[in-house]
């Protein structure tokens, strides 16, 4: 299992060739079907026979945080209602207005590491950049935009509980209560997303308290984690392919070149390994297999994006690849609402970071880097580099 966390792609290739609909059956757990081919994954992402409601799985027990009343874990009409409430803050036109803020934040972070011989791309750049941006959109006060808040969020998705899980859960709920009560008690909530969501619940009943808390948690977590992984995974790929990196490091690189490269980095080592939760609401037949009602269906985004029937020479990084209809952000009604933000942060971050690092190299062999174990996300725990 550890090898699959480190490098899942050989396993994905085996699945695509030999078991495109593979049942993972373990005692005491629901059956999980691993779907690995591009065409199957893309089709099932829009298949109404799959539900986002984990309550449909026999024996389902809600997670300890109780924060699962959000768009990732519901079907229409609730999904439509909740998505509509947050959609306006993430439309590309509005996100584009954040480019000066993203650029300024990135440059400030790079100024702090400019003269350091050793640094960690994740801790020193990707994590604080992406967390500050989602905090800006939500309207999180600066006094809560710090490492402790990030640690509290990330602890909730750790594969094994920390030394004091009850305290972690309590810290998370205190954080969310503080954010929400601040919007209710202050007069500056109109310009940010969290304030708008609070008003939607308080004034029109469009969002109840459990949905509000769950949505705030989801946006903070995913808005940070996904793009942090994009920058970390992408920089590792570029450091291992210096010829490709050179195309983005040029002083006057064309924005279209950068945009195309970001799409390839999203495809090549996707920040989302598996699509978010789905289960069969009715039986489904696929590749001679029968997926039963209530079975979990894991749509392997990372595998689909390396499918050679869709992407020629799929295991090779090509920052000029086009067309590039990858599935890193999903497809259909559950398409990632933060896709425009992730793309913009990546487009700003990669050229600036490459120019700052210059001829830097990995501080340790790539196969010794540590990846955070997770079912849905794929991201490095650290990316240490050293300047020559």
The stretch 258-283 carries a mean pLDDT of: 96
Q: What is the pLDDT at residue 187? A: 54
% of the chain surpassing 70 pLDDT: 96
- Are 385 and 360 within 8 A, CB to CB? yes
Is 80 exceeded by the pLDDT of residue 113? yes
Give the separation between CA 249 and CA 358, rounded to whole angstroms.
8
Q: What is the torsional sign of CA 268, 272, 274, 280? A: negative
What are the b/e assignments for 280-290, b being 16+ CB within 10 Å?
A: bbeebebeeee
The stretch 105-110 carries a mean pLDDT of: 96
Give Cβ neighbours of residue 219 (< 8 Å, ≥ 6 apart): 86, 134, 137, 138, 193, 338
Is 90 exceeded by the pLDDT of residue 145? no
Sequence ranges of the domains in the chain = 2-386
* Residue pLDDT, tens place only, 122-135: 999 999 999 999 99
% of the chain surpassing 90 pLDDT: 68
For the chain, what is the largest distance between any 2 Cα atoms, rounded to a whole number of angstroms? 59
| Band of pLDDT at residue 62, cut at 50, 70 and 90 | confident
CATH architecture of 2-386: Orthogonal Bundle (1.10)
Alpha-carbon dihedral angle through residues 55, 301, 345, 318, given to the nearest 10 degrees: 180
Q: What is the pLDDT at residue 327? A: 98
Is 90 exceeded by the pLDDT of residue 262? yes
Q: What is the pLDDT at residue 326? A: 98
Is 90 exceeded by the pLDDT of residue 65? no
Q: Give how far Cα 328 sits from Cα of 50, 124, 167, 303, Å.
A: 19, 25, 34, 10
* Residue pLDDT, tens place only, 344-387: 999 999 999 999 999 899 999 999 999 998 878 999 999 999 98
Q: Is 161 helix (H, G, I), strand (E, B) or coil?
A: coil
Q: What is the pLDDT at residue 182? A: 87
Question: Beta strand 32-35 with 296-299: parallel, antiparallel or unpaired?
Answer: parallel
**Average pLDDT along the chain:** 91
* Paired tokens of 153: 């969020």
Q: What is the pLDDT at residue 33? A: 97
| Band of pLDDT at residue 66, cut at 50, 70 and 90 | confident
Q: What is the pLDDT at residue 188? A: 54
Indicate the pTM of the whole model. Answer: 0.94
Q: Strand pairing partners for 290?
A: 285
* Residue pLDDT, tens place only, 168-219: 888 888 889 988 888 887 655 556 888 888 888 888 888 999 999 999 999 9
- Are 224 and 130 within 8 A, CB to CB? yes
Give the separation between CA 349 and CA 260, rounded to whole angstroms.
14
Radius of gyration, CA atoms only, the chain: 21
Number of alpha helices (DSSP H) and beta strands (DSSP E) in the chain: 16, 12
């Amino acid at each position: 299992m550890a090898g699959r966390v480190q490098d899942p792609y050989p396993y994905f290739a085996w699945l695509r060739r030999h078991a495109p609909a593979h049942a993972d059956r373990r005692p005491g757990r629901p059956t999980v079907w691993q779907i690995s081919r591009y065409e199957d994954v893309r089709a099932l992402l829009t298949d109404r026979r799959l539900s986002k409601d984990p309550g449909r799985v026999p024996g389902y027990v809600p997670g300890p945080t109780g924060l699962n009343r959000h768009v990732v874990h519901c079907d229409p009409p609730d999904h439509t209602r909740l998505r509509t409430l947050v959609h306006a803050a993430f439309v590309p036109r509005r996100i584009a207005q954040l480019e000066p803020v993203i650029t300024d934040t990135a440059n400030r972070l790079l100024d702090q590491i400019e003269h350091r011989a050793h640094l960690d791309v994740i801790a020193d750049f990707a994590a604080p950049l992406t967390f500050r941006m989602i905090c800006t959109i939500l309207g999180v006060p600066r006094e809560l935009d710090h490492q402790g808040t990030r640690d509290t969020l990330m602890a909730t998705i750790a594969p094994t509980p920390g030394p004091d899980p009850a305290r972690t859960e309590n810290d998370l709920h205190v954080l969310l209560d503080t954010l929400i009560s601040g919007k209710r008690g202050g007069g500056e909530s109109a310009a940010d997303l969290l304030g708008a969501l609070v008003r939607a619940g308080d004034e029109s009943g469009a969002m109840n308290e459990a949905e509000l808390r769950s949505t705030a948690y989801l946006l903070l977590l995913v808005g940070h984690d996904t793009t942090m992984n994009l920058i970390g995974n992408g920089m590792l790929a570029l450091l291992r392919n210096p010829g490709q990196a050179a195309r983005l490091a040029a002083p006057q690189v064309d924005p279209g070149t950068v945009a195309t490269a970001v799409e390839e980095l999203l495809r090549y080592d996707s920040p989302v390994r598996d699509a978010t939760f789905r289960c069969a609401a009715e039986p489904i037949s696929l590749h001679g297999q029968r997926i039963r009602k209530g079975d979990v269906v894991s749509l392997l985004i990372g595998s689909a994006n390396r499918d050679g029937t869709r992407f020629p020479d799929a295991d090779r990084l090509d920052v000029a690849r086009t067309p590039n209809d990858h599935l890193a952000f999903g497809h259909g009604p559950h398409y990632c609402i933060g896709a425009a933000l992730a793309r913009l942060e990546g487009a700003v971050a990669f050229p600036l970071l490459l120019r700052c690092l210059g001829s830097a190299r990995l501080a340790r062999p790539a196969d010794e880097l540590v990846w955070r174990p997770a079912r849905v996300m794929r991201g490095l725990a650290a990316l240490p580099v050293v300047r020559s």
